[in-house]
Structure 1
Amino acid sequence: MSPAALRGAVDLSTLRNRPSAPTPASTGGSASIVTDVVIDATDETFGQVLEISRTVPVVVDLWAEWCGPCKQLSPIIEKVTRELGGRVLLAKVDVDANPQLAQGFRAQSIPMVVAVIAGQPVPMFTGAVPEAQVRDVFAQLLQVAGQNGVTGTLDVGAPVDDAEPVAEPELPPLHAEAFAAIEAGDYPAAIRAYEKALAENPRDEDAIAGLGQVRLLDRVQGLDLQAARAAAAAAPQEVAAQFAVADLDIAGGHVEDAFARLLDLFAQLPADERTPVRERLVELFGLVGATDSRVVSARNRLSSLLF
């Protein structure tokens, strides 16, 4: 994990100099005062967030109300942030309400979590991940921050108003069951819970998205990227080998590479062997999002190969 890893993938320059209200945190000492370690960041206020990132690492959670996996991941990130006692600030960004931030972070699929250290982006993860993995990545983040001299602590002051916080809506029982299973790392149990939810309501978009995410997590668990790539290179028409690399590419955010691999495989296979590849592509299309430009392009190519 290093700031260089996202160079060219994230453009924060348009937000760095944006005028904003006075920053809630100073950058001159080891401690900065904010009202909470979890904030909502907007296109207009992100300049403040970049300043705070010179004191403590800032974790940016890009989410949307319609995103089922976001509802699984965001509470975990918030929990871990609060446990760190001011060593990290969590900035939550609604991508629908803040298009400039979504564009700056190149948020083609969500949930997407990126850190900012001293104004520089650092990759964390894309998609819902279990709590153990979140904790591991946060530990790595603090190490990178320390290496870059960002070792401050936020002093959480009194809130601006004493209004009671709005309670988060409860998840439906089967969604809650899936979420608990994901936290425990029991992906098969999460898959079963989402499948039950879809059996009850086939139009449950949160369950559809969650099922796609957790199936992907289950498939990539334990895979070794180098070994998978070697196996795929040695057997270019071996469906399982190509599926493994495509899954790893999707999990790593290399969406176009995954689609290109599977579309090339589809084109090479005899007509009677193509169905599993088409089905996997359709599943991944749903995971990334039907309106995503990469999905639209890949779907068009698939249609041309079919007809």
Structure 2
Amino acid sequence: MQPRNMSMRGVVDLGAVKAASEAAAQRAARAASAPQAGPDGTPGGGAGGGFFVELTEENFDSVLALSQQAPVVLEFSSQRSAHSIELGAVFERLAEEFAGRFVLARLDIDASPGLAQELVMQAQIQGLPAAVAVIAGQLAPMFDRAAPQEEQLRQILDQLVA
């Protein structure tokens, strides 16, 4: 087995994000907000064959735990960004193609602003579209403000799961 050639530059411990997320989840529970995803975290129908999940404050801990078994790609999205919508379709195709070698977790920054703010600060994201990988609970920046083309993104994901 060859060693991974991944830089640890920019890796962030998610402990503070988890604590903030737990506090936000408690606030959300008290506010009795309507759930935006199914009980397993997938949107209705489980798009992506189970390789895709809508990230919310409620399922953040369980999605973070998945990063112990496979890389989790956090895609920051907004319906207000055409580039985010286009990137989302590309990520969904690639999640299906990679068939479980990574989990795609989409964070709608408009639907979960508290969690989005914490993660954006931790990952030092400057703008959309943006994505970071979570590997064993650690953030590793992928890109922000400029999404790679599909083939470049496929190569990035190949390196991520190698």
Q: Which has the higher contact order (CA 8 A, sep 6+)?
A: 2
Q: How does the TM-score come out when normalised to structure 2?
A: 0.70
- Name which of 4, 7, 10 aligns with 1:5: 10
Amino acid aligned to 1:132 = E
Query: How many equivalent pairs are there?
Result: 129
Please name the residue that 1:132 is paired with: 151
After superposing on structure 2, the runs of 4+ consecutive aligned residues of structure 1 that deviate more than 3 Å are 1-4
**The structure with more strand, counted as a fraction of residues:** 2
Report the 3-state secondary structure (helix = DSSP H, G, I; strand = E; otherwise coil) of the residue aligned with 1:92. strand
Please name the residue that 2:68 is paired with: 54
Amino acid aligned to 1:136 = Q
Give, in whole Å, the separation in 1 of the partners of 2:110 and 2:15: 18
1:142 and 2:161 matched: yes
Please name the residue that 1:114 is paired with: 132
Amino acid aligned to 1:138 = L
Amino acid aligned to 1:97 = A
Report the 3-state secondary structure (helix = DSSP H, G, I; strand = E; otherwise coil) of the residue aligned with 1:51. helix
Instruction: Provide the aligned C-alpha RMSD in A.
Output: 2.4
Offset from partner CA, 1:248-285 (integer Å, 9 cap, x none): xxxxxxxxxxxxxxxxxxxxxxxxxxxxxxxxxxxxxx
Report the 3-state secondary structure (helix = DSSP H, G, I; strand = E; otherwise coil) of the residue aligned with 2:110. coil
2:75–2:104 Cα contact (<8 Å) kept: yes
Is there any run of 5+ residues in structure 2 with no aligned partner, and where? 1-5, 26-38, 41-48
Offset from partner CA, 1:91-139 (integer Å, 9 cap, x none): 0110011122222222431111011011001111122221111011001
Offset from partner CA, 1:181-210 (integer Å, 9 cap, x none): xxxxxxxxxxxxxxxxxxxxxxxxxxxxxx
Please name the residue that 1:147 is paired with: none
Report the 3-state secondary structure (helix = DSSP H, G, I; strand = E; otherwise coil) of the residue aligned with 1:65. coil
Please name the residue that 1:97 is paired with: 111
Offset from partner CA, 1:33-81 (integer Å, 9 cap, x none): xx71111011221111110110111011100010011122111111111
Report the 3-state secondary structure (helix = DSSP H, G, I; strand = E; otherwise coil) of the residue aligned with 1:13. helix
- Name which of 43, 50, 54 aligns with 1:40: 54
Q: Percent identity?
A: 33
Please name the residue that 1:18 is paired with: 22
1:3–1:121 Cα contact (<8 Å) kept: no
- Name which of 69, 79, 93 aligns with 1:65: 79
Give, in whole Å, the separation in 2 of the partners of 1:6 and 1:100: 21
Amino acid aligned to 1:18 = E
1:85 and 2:99 matched: yes
Give, in whole Å, the separation in 2 of the partners of 1:12 and 1:97: 22
Q: How does the TM-score come out when normalised to structure 1?
A: 0.39
